[in-house]
Structure 1
Amino acid sequence: MEHIALYRAWRPQSFQDTVGQQHIIRTLQNAIREQRLSHAYLFSGPRGTGKTTTAKVLAKAVNCEKGPAPEPCNECDACRRITAGSVMDVLEIDAASNRGVEEIRDLREKVKYAPTEVRQKVYIIDEVHMLTTEAFNALLKTLEEPPPHVMFILATTEPHRLPATVISRCQRFDFRRISMEEQVERLRTICEQEQITAEEAALEYIARLSDGGMRDALSILEQIASFSDAQVSYQQVLDMTGGIPSHQFAKLAEMIHEGEIGGMLEMIEGFMQEGKSADKCMENLLYYFRDLLMIKMVPQADRLTERVLDVRDFREMAHKFSKAQLFQILDTLNHYQTEMKYAVQPQTLFEVALLKLCSLTSGGSAEDSPVASHMSPASASGATAGVPADEVQQLRRQVAELERKLEQALKNGLASGSGDRQASGGSRPAARSSAPRISSPSKMPAGMDGYLAQRNSQEFLEVQGKWNQILHAVKEEKVTIHAWFMNGEPVSVQEDAVLVAFKNDIHRETTEKPANKQLIEQVMERQLGRPCRLVTMMQKDWNDALQGAQTPAAEPLQLEPPPEDGNTSQEPWVDEALQLFGEELVVIKD
């Protein structure tokens, strides 16, 4: 016979075989007894906790030839065929591969027809959160008022991704993670039936690794049983899964407390040689110190975690650390665990994290932790140990002086820059120099004169007329970008550039992000029928520029005629043109 995986061979076929979800099973059985079944159910919870299994058992219970009954008989033709998946009226649909609106429209059309083989049609839609928004909208009306012979059962691991309109039309059941005791009991029963010899500690460790999922636990058990010829020991589970026993973490914590850096690094190297991963070691060590903190702060804290096997050992270790040290250790490990996700050498980062822990527990202060934002004077003086005090003071004075000069330069840089420009161009009219100053010249787009000249052009009027269409198209593409972009309004165009002025700097900066800007430019190109570039500035800067352009000059610019002599013409501008461009380039016509 073809081999069947353990989690498939031991999938529960009745409500009483389902593990760890008694609050759901009892509710469904009472609904069947009282004939108060709903037309739509939503089963949500972590993977491997029995959502699809419960849905199929419910389909058998409502269609059993001896029912509807609180328990399917699993003997009649309907039960056996539903178990085999050969009943056309009980459909299990994978929403990940049938997520479009067309598939849901096809389902909506077929719902109208009465069942042909069993009492009631049952649609089990697995991973329903993968449906598109359009597909959800197409399903809403059918889900709210289906024909009396139809039942929907939606299953998902991510209920927060479902629209509220869908959730409100269903009876929701939240599947919880299966406790370690229930998993161990189930694994022990399966081992007896499958003639697998397993140590109790091995089963407990498998249950902890599965993180509350029965399917994961059975997969690990089958893998180890195949490797060890049906003899499952605790050490084999550790070797196969890359796990580290709890006493090894206790030894590591002892070295951290005593500051034994050499032994600690040798221990880490041994982990790596055995094939352990640095990120998994970091995760388990974080859990270990979390449990130490819980043991230290909460009475009977062993009930809050399933990782504490011997409470006395944990209490002895917890007494060696203070609460402040444990908080600092958790902060440090959490910081380096985040950094490890992007590290090229995670082992090195793991070693650095443990070295940091040694410095914390051997008298280092909390300010030495990487999560501290500033150094206190005490830690600063510790960091400069060995450096003469007069040199340190001199360096501090120099740094303070540089910071003061930099701050002063930043404050006065704009005014001094404008003064230099006026000094170099003394012939500039006084009225123009007294125009309102732009607050942030770096945010002014290049070619400002061109934008001012084109602000009433035909091209700009075309953009202005289609602006509402552009905003609507951006909203259809991505509503979050539309929320930022609608703060701006077009003020001018120049060649392929569209200048948009914003009232709020945050909205402008978000719009200027490369991904957002690219999407907006694509929308404008489609709406305007030509390639477009998005150029942004602040509305205040645009108003100031307009005011400066419209301010009349105090004295009109006039050309002073040179003293008359025999070589000068009666038109002074002709002489000026000849002087500027040369006689070869100037042609004089009456």
Structure 2
Amino acid sequence: MSYQALYRVWRPQRFDEIIGQELITKTLKNALITKQTSHAYLFAGPRGTGKTSAAKIFAKAVNCRFLKDGEPCNECDTCKAITAGTLNDVIEIDAASNNGVEEIRDIRDKAKYTPTEADYKVYIIDEVHMLSTGAFNALLKTLEEPPANVIFILATTEPHKIPATIISRTQRFDFRRIKASDSFNRMKYILDEKGVTYDEQALKVIAKAAEGGMRDALSILDQALSFGDNEITLENALLVTGSVEKGLLTTYLEQVVGNQTTDALITLQKVLEEGKDAHRFIEDVLDYLRNLLLYQQAPDIVAENSLGDVPEEIKTFSSQLTASDLFQAINILNGIQSQMRLTNHPDIYLEVLTIQLAQIKGGTPVTAATQKPEAATVSAAPTSEELASLSEQVAQLKQQVKELKLVKTTGEPAPSVAKTVEKPKKPAGRESRVNLAKVYPVLDTAARNELAQIQQVWSDLMQILSVTQRAVMHVAEPVAASKDGLIVAFDYSFLFQKATLDSELLDALENGLDRLIGHSPTIVFVPKDQWPQIRKDYLVQHKDQLANNANQSDAPETGEPQEPSLSAEAPKAEPDPVVTKATDLFGTDIVDIKQD
């Protein structure tokens, strides 16, 4: 017979052999003993935690004539046929490749027939979340009113994708991740049975790399056996998993903690030259820092995670680093880890990571705020000069308050206040810049009816965009429009900047408007918090031009001067051209006229 993988050879055949799921196996065994089995079960949980194995064992147990303490005998013809996969009454279906309505209808039609050999017909549907909506609807009626002697077992790694109507008609069991200690003990048992030489430290590395999946642990163990010529060593386990040796990792962290940036970069190069996976390296550093943080608060948890062996360096580091240091380091690692997913040069990110970690000093990041000792240091007792300076500042503030009260009561400006009270300046580089050369031409010919036309089709325009583009434009709205231009304001400055640089978004908006209104105006983006000031500046700067335009439009067509009116009535006040333009641009509902 050809070689079989370890996870297939050592697949559990009894409930007691399922690792780390004692609550579930005990519940199923009690249901079998008392004959209180349900017609449908849902086994949910991470990969490699025993869901399909438990389903097959349950199928054997419910049909075994020699059931003992809820466990199948594995000796009768029925148990052997189910183990070999040759019993027609136990049907295992992969929903990933059979997810259509027709496949489920076929199951529904065949489920009406009684079992041919066993007592129960058992359908095991693996990865059930892959079924289509129509397939779920076809399965729903069968689960609601199942035929006699039919049991459905649904297995999935993503239960949130299953309709609630399906889940409510099943008994749900959530399989949890397997502890590293349980995986370690299971691998020891298998290797002892096979008579293979192994290093326990190597098994610990494999157990941690499996991340709670027993099947993953056995697959890595199988690979290490092949690589090491039927022998498990720590070096082979590190090579197979891509993990970093603890000694090298400790050296790296010691150099980072000691702000030895150059030495840490050299150690990082050694790690990369050994062929270690960059993503795995970050996982190892994160796990190390997590253990340091936990050891400061709950040492017993670290002892359990380390399989009973707490390294000495963890005890040493935990006293050297504060919780603030560890929080900042973990945040940096998480940020680099998310950025590395989209790059082909992870070594660059690891070098940046090393430099950032080496800048963490005493729980305070090295930033512009901490580079000035005078800003970060507070003396214990103020000197006489400091007290005199503070007294002078208090006196100046009191004088400013008096002058401000005077301004409020009399309306006259106070020169000293104007000189001393200034608006806080925004930090350089943080203000969103608007291209006024594109905004003002739109405002020159803007009209209320053009804006109303855009607002009417705005919701339809959003439906034309992709989901990502729609998410960006969700917090934007048109605020001014002309025949050839459109101004759109964003609630948030960072989304304004993102949209300004997104040429595909601009093309999609212009093409969509071309379809909806028959032409594509030039679109200009502005931040909503700057829009009122932009609008005001435009009206002020173009006041003379607006007045000339208004006078020209009011002049008679003949060009002859008009005679003065002889009426005794007082002449009517001419409308302010700025107010007229503002009303044309933005409508009377939002224009508030105040007399100077």
Q: Same fold (TM over 0.5)?
A: yes
Partner residue in 1 for 2:161: 161
- 1:4 paired residue number: 4
Residues 406-445 of structure 1: pairs in structure 2 closer than 5 A: none
Matched, 1:368 2:362: no
Say yes or no: does 1:558 pair with 2:556. yes
Partner of 2:412: none
CA offset digits 1:122-154 (Å, max 9, x no partner): 111111122223322332222222112221111
Structure 1 residues 269 and 450, CA gap change in structure 2 (3 angstroms): same
2 CA distance for matches of 1:454 and 1:207?
Answer: 65
329 and 486 in structure 1: CA distance in 2 versus 1, 3 angstrom threshold? closer
Structure 1 residue 330, shift from structure 2 partner: 2.4
Question: Unaligned 5+ residue runs, structure 1?
Answer: 383-399, 418-439, 545-552, 564-590
Is 277-286 or 328-337 further displaced after alignment? 328-337
Structure 2: distance between partners of 1:61 and 1:442: 80
Q: Is 1:340–1:346's contact at 8 Å kept on the other side of the alignment?
A: yes
1:36-73 deviation line (CA, Å, top 9, x unaligned): 11111111111111000000111111122335971112
* Equivalence for 2:293: 293
In structure 2, relative to structure 1, the CA distance for the partners of 1:184 and 1:37 (3 Å cut) is same
Q: Secondary structure of 1:236's partner?
A: helix
Select between 152-161 and 26-35 the one with higher mean Cα deviation: 152-161
Distance 1:481 1:38, change over 3 A: farther
Counterpart of 1:559 in structure 2: which amino acid?
Answer: E
Amino acid corresponding to residue 134 of structure 1 in structure 2: G
Amino acid in structure 1 at the alignment position of 2:88? M
Give the aligned partner of residue 73 of structure 1. 73
Aligned to 1:325: 325
Measure how far apart 1:218 and its partner are.
1.1
| Inter-CA distance 57–483: structure 2 relative to 1 (3 Å threshold) | farther
Most deviating of 15-24 and 260-269: 260-269
**Change beyond 3 A, Cα 1:193–1:413:** closer
Q: Which residue identity does 1:273 align to in structure 2?
A: E
> In the alignment, what sits opposite 2:337?
337
- Cα deviation for residue 194 of structure 1 reads 2.2
Aligned to 2:419: none
3-state SS of 1:300 partner: helix
Determine helix, strand or coil for the equivalent of 1:92.
strand
Q: Displacement of 1:190 after TM fit?
A: 1.4
Task: State the match for 1:176 in structure 2.
Answer: 176
Whether 1:93 aligns to 2:86 is no
Residue 201 of structure 2: aligned partner: 201
TM-aligned CA deviation for residue 531 of structure 1:
9.5
CA-CA distance at 1:227 after TM superposition:
2.1
Q: 1:426 is matched with which residue?
A: none
| Deviation for aligned residue 1:451 | 6.5
How far apart, in 2, do the equivalents of 1:524 and 1:413 lie?
A: 22
Deviation at 1:537, TM superposition (A): 11
Label 1:380 to 1:49 Cα distance change in 2 as closer, same or farther (>3 A): farther
Alignment gaps of 5+ in structure 2 = 377-421, 536-549, 562-596
> What one-letter code is carried by the residue in structure 1 that aligns with 2:12?
P
Q: 2:397 aligns to what?
A: none
Structure 2 CA distance for aligned equivalents of residues 53 and 204 of structure 1: 24
Aligned partners of 1:41 and 1:171 also within 8 Å:
yes
Count matched residues. 488
Closer/same/farther in 2, CA of residues 326 and 410 from structure 1, 3 Å limit: closer
Cα pair 1:481 1:511 within 8 Å, conserved: no
Aligned-residue offset at 1:109 = 2.6
CA distance 1:150–1:467, shift in 2 (3 Å): farther
Cα distance, 1:220 vs structure 2: 1.4
Q: Which residue of 2 aligns with 1:378?
A: 372
Q: Is the 8 A contact 2:445 2:482 kept in 1?
A: no
CA 1:75–1:404: 2 relative to 1, 3 Å? closer
How many Å separate the matches in 1 of 2:427 and 2:203?
68
Match of 2:123, SS? strand
SS in 2 for 1:119: coil
1:30 Cα offset (Å)? 0.5
Measure, in 2, the Cα distance between the counterparts of 1:175 and 1:104: 26
Partner residue, 2:131 = 131
- How far residue 556 of structure 1 moved from its aligned partner, in angstroms, is 5.7
Distance (whole Å) between structure 1 residues aligned to residue 47 and residue 273 of structure 2: 32
Name the aligned partner's letter for residue 214 of structure 2: M
Structure 2 vs 1, CA of residues 254 and 467 (structure 1 numbering), >3 Å: closer, same or farther?
closer
Indicate the residue corresponding to 2:45 in structure 1: 45
Any idea what the Cα deviations from partners look like across 1:364-393, whole Å, max 9, x if unmatched?
A: x72426xxxx735727989xxxxxxxxxxx
Match of 2:282 in 1: 282
* Alignment match, 2:16: 16
Partner Cα distance (2:375, 2:491) in 1: 41
Q: Which amino acid aligns with 1:72?
A: P
Query: Displacement of 1:266 after TM fit?
Result: 2.5
Partner of 1:151: 151
Q: Deviation at 1:31?
A: 0.5
2: CA distance between counterparts of 1:500 and 1:324? 49
Equivalent positions of 1:24-43 (< 5 A) are 24-43=24-43
Question: Structure 1: how far apart are the matches of 2:17 and 2:426?
Answer: 75
Q: Which amino acid aligns with 1:220?
A: I
Taking a change above 3 Å as real, the CA distance of residues 53 and 500 of structure 1, as seen in their structure-2 partners, is farther
Name the amino acid aligned to 1:14. R
Question: Which residue matches 1:83?
Answer: 83
- Return the TM-score normalized by structure 2: 0.67
CA–CA distance in 2 between the matches of 1:304 and 1:514?
53
Question: Shift of the alpha carbon at 1:557?
Answer: 5.6
Per-residue CA deviation, residues 382-435 of structure 1 (Å, 9 max, x unaligned), is: 9xxxxxxxxxxxxxxxxx99968999x999999xx9xxxxxxxxxxxxxxxxxx
Asked if residue 270 in structure 1 is aligned to residue 267 in structure 2, the reply is no
Task: Decide whether the 8 Å contact of 1:89 with 1:120 is kept in 2.
Answer: yes
RMSD over aligned CA atoms reads: 5.0
1:177/1:137 Cα in 2 relative to 1: closer, same or farther (>3 Å)?
same
Cα separation, partners in 2 of 1:99 and 1:471, compared to 1, 3 Å: farther
**1:172 and 1:81 mapped to 2: Cα distance?**
27
Contact persistence 2:140–2:165 (CA under 8 A): yes
Distance in 2 (alpha carbons) for counterparts of 1:519 and 1:101? 37
